[in-house]
Amino acid sequence: MTRQLILAVTMLFLSSLARADEVQVAVAANFTAPMKAIVAEFENLTGHKAQLSFGGTGKFYAQIKNGAPYQVFLSADDETPAKLEQEGLAEPGSRFTYAVGTLVLWSARPDVVDAKGEVLTRGTFAHLALANPKLAPYGAAAMETLEKLGLAASLRAKFVQGENIAQTHQFVASGNAELGFVALSQVMKDGRITGGSAWIVPAEMHRPIRQDAVILNPGRDKAAANALLRFLRGRPAQAIIRSYGYQ
């Protein structure tokens, strides 16, 4: 390799490093596994870095309102990003639906949940986990499902309520609740449920769980923030999203 070519390659490498940026991202807890996989690809292909924080949508909203320095927000619903946009806390026109979630009734044990969810009507369990329906979109979808089945009142005494969908999943995974409503993405990888027993709740049982992403005001002029949202729309990211059971 000639000295001139080596110099040109070196300058190109240094130039790419100079353009590299870092973005602070608040991510809905249900999207933990796919987002980690997406960011690994994103960082490898773009040189940008992403610092991820996972948690409940309601809590993130309160933090953002109080000045938390997140630059991108991946919500578990479509209402919260729209509200942030209306309140002048997010960049207008940056919001879009990155995934549509799927609710699943799941048990860590293989012999608990049947393929039609009829275990709910039998009531042969002590605890049913679900996320706080006032804060978590998946919890709200779980309550809508139970109400549609006419079981919300009769099963209420068995509820074990998680602060968010991650804590709800932990209740079931640990056996503290025999079964619970979680996000399909939490129990699926490469297109299949990885363990236990499950009933995938039909979409007509609750309102669609549309999950929107938005650039927040601190990320408005950040190269990495804009690059991440472009990457989320692309084929590599969408393939990862589908592999975890999102529509």
Tell me the angle at which helices 137-149 and 165-173 cross, rounded to the nearest 10 degrees. 60
Q: Name the pLDDT band for 135 (thresholds 50, 70, 90).
A: confident
Can you give the pLDDT at residue 194? 87
Tell me the sheet residues that pair with 25: 52, 72
Task: Give percent of the chain above pLDDT 70.
Answer: 92
**What confidence tens digit (pLDDT) does each residue in 154-186 have?**
999 999 999 999 999 999 999 999 999 999 999
Can you give the pLDDT at residue 20? 78
What is the mean pLDDT of the segment spanning 113-126? 95
pLDDT at 14 > cutoff 60: no
Q: Where are the domains of the chain?
A: 20-100+209-243, 101-205
Can you give the pLDDT at residue 4? 54
What is the mean pLDDT of the segment spanning 6-10? 39
**What confidence tens digit (pLDDT) does each residue in 51-71 have?**
999 998 989 999 999 999 999
- The encoded tokens of residue 214 equal 């938005």
pLDDT at 78 > cutoff 60: yes
The CATH classification number of 101-205 equals: 3.40.190.10
Average pLDDT, the chain: 91
**What confidence tens digit (pLDDT) does each residue in 87-102 have?**
999 999 999 999 999 9
CATH 3.40.50.1820 matches 20-100+209-243? no
Q: Which residue has the tokens 């056996």?
A: 175
Q: Name the pLDDT band for 16 (thresholds 50, 70, 90).
A: very low
What's the CA gap between 188 and 207, in Å, rounded? 21
Q: Name the pLDDT band for 19 (thresholds 50, 70, 90).
A: low
The dihedral sign for the CA sequence 63, 64, 69, 75: positive
Distance, CA of 6 to chain centre: 44
Is there a shared CATH topology between the 20-100+209-243 domain and the 101-205 domain? yes
pLDDT winner (highest mean) among 9-23, 189-203, 215-229: 215-229
Q: Name the pLDDT band for 6 (thresholds 50, 70, 90).
A: very low
